[in-house]
Amino acid sequence: MLNEENNSLVLDRDVVARLKDAMQAGPDELLTFLQDPAADIVKAAIRNPLINESHVLTLLKGRDLHEDILRAIWNSRIAKDNHPIKVAIAHHPATSAAHLSEVLPFLYLFDLATLCALPGIAHDQKIAAERAIIRRLPTTPLGNKIALAHRATAAVVEQLLKEADSRVMAACLDNTQLKEGMLFQFLRSAASTPETISMIARHPRWKNMPSLKHAILTNPKTPLIWFTQWLKDLKFTEIRNIYNSQRLSQVQRREVQTELKRRGGSR
């Protein structure tokens, strides 16, 4: 029993000495303490006043860090005003969704976009980053919205579409994350305008999709040039179905009647 107590006392003294060394180590020695398998030693090294950005970013490259280490970094003096460290914490796979929600407000808009596109990002982390981007959109400058529309994820692109700005729309239409269903919903919404409808109608990727053609032909805001051009390419039964839509404007309905009569049919 006495030997066990003595061994424990020696062990405790050794741990205390290592903790003290970690907190007082010079810059070159710090990396050794930051790589220690004992979490308490690493956290003591993080509190070392000589720790710098390079030390912390090297530590954050380790993929097997525990959440408490990430918390210790986040709460440290060095992380307080250091943007690269905040970004590295956000990118780390061990950062929990709750912790990430604290970090996201400190990231720039395109930091968030990059985070969403990271390979292997957890679903809840991606959603949190997307929501952070969407919350900022009302105050985001137009140029940034256009740049974002080129690279954003599907959820963000869908939100950008709702703004119905033709300058942003052009970038959205070229984004590979944009889905046909999103455009269909946009064309069926009050947000669509003659200009944005025309952009979709002439876009090489979207103009030949049947569902979008139907949505354009049953949108009362569709410019007549597209309406009459596409109407002539439809089958007789398709034109009858268009006529039965309750969304047509009076001018569009007259055009349908004219086309039906031209083909020898009636309404």
In-domain check, residue 48: yes
What pLDDT is attached to residue 233? 85
1/97 same-domain check: yes
Q: Lowest-pLDDT range, 98-112, 189-203, 230-244?
A: 230-244
99/1 same-domain check: yes
Total of domains in the chain = 2
In-domain check, residue 175: no
Domain coverage including residue 32: 1-107
What pLDDT is attached to residue 212? 94
What pLDDT is attached to residue 54? 94
Q: How confident is the model over 15-69, as pLDDT tens digits? A: 788 888 888 889 888 989 899 888 999 999 999 999 999 999 999 998 888 899 9
Contacts of 235-242 spanning 24+ positions with Cβ under 8 A = 236/260, 236/263, 236/265, 239/263, 240/265, 242/214, 242/217, 242/218
What does the chain look like in DSSP terms, one character per residue? -HHHHHHHHHHHHHHHHHHHHHHH--HHHHHHHHT-S-HHHHHHHHT-TT--HHHHHHHHT-TT--HHHHHHHHTSHHHHT-HHHHHHHHH-TT--HHHHHHHGGGS-HHHHHHHHT-TT--HHHHHHHHHHHHHHGGGS-HHHHHHHHHH--HHHHHHHHTT--HHHHHHHHH-TT--HHHHHHHHTSTT--HHHHHHHHH-TTTTT-HHHHHHHHT-TTS-HHHHHHHHTTS-HHHHHHHHT-TT--HHHHHHHHHHHHHTT---
In-domain check, residue 168: no
Q: How confident is the model over 239-262, as pLDDT tens digits? A: 888 888 888 999 999 998 988 888
Whether 174 shows a pLDDT value over 90: the answer reads: yes
What pLDDT is attached to residue 28? 87
Whether 216 shows a pLDDT value over 70: the answer reads: yes
Q: Lowest-pLDDT range, 110-119, 175-184, 189-198, 230-239?
A: 230-239
Taking all residues of the chain, what is their mean pLDDT, rounded to a whole number?
Answer: 89
What pLDDT is attached to residue 12? 73
Domain end among 60, 81, 107: 107
What pLDDT is attached to residue 265? 60
In-domain check, residue 128: no
In-domain check, residue 81: yes
Domain end among 107, 129, 152: 107
In-domain check, residue 44: yes
97/196 same-domain check: no
Q: Lowest-pLDDT range, 28-42, 104-118, 127-141, 170-184?
A: 28-42
What pLDDT is attached to residue 73? 95
Whether 2 shows a pLDDT value over 90: the answer reads: no
3-state helix, strand, coil in the chain (%, to 5): 70, 0, 30
98/197 same-domain check: no
Domain end among 107, 136, 169: 107
- Mean pLDDT confidence for 172-199: 94
What pLDDT is attached to residue 10? 43
In-domain check, residue 224: yes
In-domain check, residue 158: no
- Confidence band for 89, pLDDT divided at 50, 70 and 90: very high
